[in-house]
Chains A and B, each alone.
Chain A
Amino acid sequence: MDEHKVRLEISELSKSYETKEGRFQAVEKIDLKVYDNEFLVLLGPGNCGKTVLLNMIAGLEQPTSGEIRLDGSVIQGSDRRIGMVFQKLALMPWKTVMQNTEIGPKFRGVKKEERRKKAQSYIDLVGLNGFEKAYPAQLSGGMKQRVGIARAYTNDPEILLMDEPFGALDAQTRFVMEQEVQRIWEQEKRTIIFVTNNIEEACFLGDRIVLFSECPARMKEIYVNDLKRPRDVISQEFLKLRAMISDNTDLAL
């Protein structure tokens, strides 16, 4: 871990909504630096505004105050260098696996042949070779999320946001997908910001784990996790880290 170059810098970032009952604070004064090629996990209970934070980085929502800098300059709206893997069902049902995957370069006007080649290489990487012409409705939950990952990678983002990508999967598939994400990340190094509410998932994947409080989302603690990959989820060190984070987590009921 010598590459401590800061890629993304979030300062004083807040988001609140006006509702009928008054002001609702979703995210409060987040200060966070994201390093180059790190696997950063945002961990927190229930609906504590982690998704809102991620949406602001992706440019899907406007912050109420504060700013986000990428490589030193402030970003506004959705930036091409930032990609996103959405929660379940963000595939377009009218597009095949291939058409879903190539969407990024297609929107940029990349020639069909070129973008198809690129999409194909990521379809192969996520293990969906042979399913290019299938529609999302024909795929299992795990396969759909693989398409989501291939789609994000095909757009060549420098920073990849993942919003509870495996929340809807069963435990078995979830663990397989966690290993897959780790394998792909090691093969194609990117900066990843991964949101989850699962402590084990956070400990298994993250270089650093940012623990958030219950609503509004405030940063509680950052854990550096330098256990050797792939991590043994029943080793002493792993369980110790897990217990430490777990004791510090607010319960969401």
Chain B
Amino acid sequence: MGGTNKSTVEERKKTAWADWGYRLLPVLSILLLILSWHLASSNSPDSFPTIQATWERFLLLWEKPIMRVSYPGHILASLKRVCIALFFSWLIGISFGIIIGWNRKMDAFFGTIFAFIRPIPPIAWIPLITIWFGIDEFPKILIVFIGAVMPVVINTHAGLSSVEQLYLNVGTAFNANRFQMLFEVAIPSALPSIFAGIRTSTSTAWMVVLAAEMLGAKSGVGFLVVRGMDGLDMPLVLVAMITIGVIGALLAAVTNFMERRLCPWMSIR
């Protein structure tokens, strides 16, 4: 008995160390990144702003708005476009994905068109959409929507069209009607892949909004990048880039949280 106790204590010590390790490693990687930034930028501060310069530009941005929009204002402008576009892309993308994933005739009808539109990058729509709708808010949201809706449709379609036969058999054996088969069996079993689509659409939307803003906008984080480039204000470009990274990571965390709340069974392994 004494032997086993000793070994469990040792094992526990080991896992405690491992836990510490796993918490330390991300911190270490960020420190290394900052260090390499420092080393690289100190040689050529003109083309690669130093940490110091970037930090000062960041503080200045809080005091001095750009185009009469404050720093949080620019972030909110981008987030607003992303959120509106995401809302509609989830609503329409999931519904459309379910229809073509569940009904083979619909799939045969829309599938071909979709396969052809899908590879066109959302940015390629910018010229047409600008001609049709101008450079207002709506066209930007529309471009983000086009980018975000694709992964939702693809993943929802994949999830619905590959429901395990066993679950459908259970539905049949318990006399589910068509409606129950779809809402009680097929859609829940497709939720993991629907959520994969939602996760991809969130990151896509965030990338596309920045691209859309870089091509013509008076607010938003993408606009800050262009503004920095035009004014040769590299510290501003870096501040905007870091902001993009941080907000993108936060958006991913929010979707993960949503997924865990809505599909509690998926985190049990």
A106 to B170, CA, bound (A): 13
> Given A94-B191, A107-B180, A108-B175: A135 and B268 within 8 A (CB)?
yes
A130-148 contacts to B, CB under 8 A, are 135-138
Nearest residue, chain A, Cβ from B165: A60
In the complex, B67 has a CB within 8 A of chain A: no
| A-facing residues in B60-98 (Cβ within 8 Å) | none
Answer yes or no: B22 CB below 8 A from chain A CBs. no
For B176, the closest partner residue in chain A by CB is A107
Contacts A92-B189, A94-B263, A107-B184 given; does A86 touch B268 at CB 8 Å = no
Which positions 158-185 of chain B face chain A at CB distance < 8 Å?
166-167, 169-177, 180, 184-185
Q: Is the CB of A137 within 8 A of B268?
A: yes
Query: Using Cβ atoms and an 8 Å threshold, which residues of chain B touch A103?
Result: 170, 174, 184
* A60 touches which of B172, B263, B268 (Cβ 8 Å): B172
Interface residues of B in 181-210 (CB under 8 A from A): 184-185, 188-189, 191
B26 contacts across to A, CB distance below 8 A: none
Taking the complex as formed, is A84 at the interface, i.e. its CB lies under 8 A from any CB of chain B? yes
Per a CB cutoff under 8 Å, which of A84, A92, A95, A108 touches B173?
A84
Contact yes or no, B189 A58, CB < 8 A: no
- Cβ-closest chain B residue relative to A104: B174
Q: Interface extent on A, as a size class?
A: 20 to 34
Q: Are B175 and A80 within 8 A (Cβ)? A: yes
- How far is A89 from B176 in the complex, measured between Cα atoms in Å? 19
A89 to B175 Cα, complex, angstroms: 19
Cβ contacts under 8 Å, B172 to chain A: 58-60, 78
CA of A136 to CA of B265 in the docked complex: distance in angstroms?
Answer: 9
Task: Indicate which residue in A92, A108, A136 contacts B170 across the interface (CB closer than 8 Å).
Answer: A92
The number of inter-chain residue pairs (CB within 8 angstroms) is 58
> Judging by beta carbons under 8 Å apart, are A94 and B188 in contact?
yes
Question: Does A83 interact with chain B (Cβ within 8 Å)?
Answer: yes
Task: Kindly state whether residue B269 has any CB partner on chain A within 8 Å.
Answer: yes
Residues of chain B within 8 A of A37, CB atoms compared: none
| Chain B proximity of A145: nearest CB distance (Å) | 14
Q: When chains A and B are docked, how far (Å) is the Cα of A93 from the Cα of B174?
A: 17
Contact between B173 and A60, CB atoms less than 8 A apart: yes
Q: Tell me if B264 is interfacial: C-beta within 8 Å of chain A.
A: yes
Question: Is A92 touching B188 in the complex (CB atoms < 8 A)?
Answer: yes
> Which A residues touch B269, using CB under 8 A?
137
Set of chain A residues within 8 Å of B167, measured between Cβ atoms: 90, 92
Q: What is the minimal beta-carbon distance from B82 to any residue of chain A, in angstroms?
A: 29
Min Cβ gap B264→A in Å is 7
A137 to B264, CA, bound (A): 11
User: Chain A residue with minimal CB distance to B185?
Assistant: A92
Contact of A135 among B180, B184, B191, B265 (CB under 8 A): B265
Q: Does A155 contact B (CB under 8 A)?
A: yes
- B175, B189, B264, B265: the one contacting A107 at CB < 8 Å is B175
Chain B nearest CB from A240 CB (Å) reads 37
Interface residues of A in 143-164 (CB under 8 A from B): 155
Contact residues in A for B188 (Cβ distance below 8 Å):
92, 94-95
B-side residues, CB < 8 A to A, are 166-167, 169-177, 180, 184-185, 188-189, 191, 263-265, 268-269
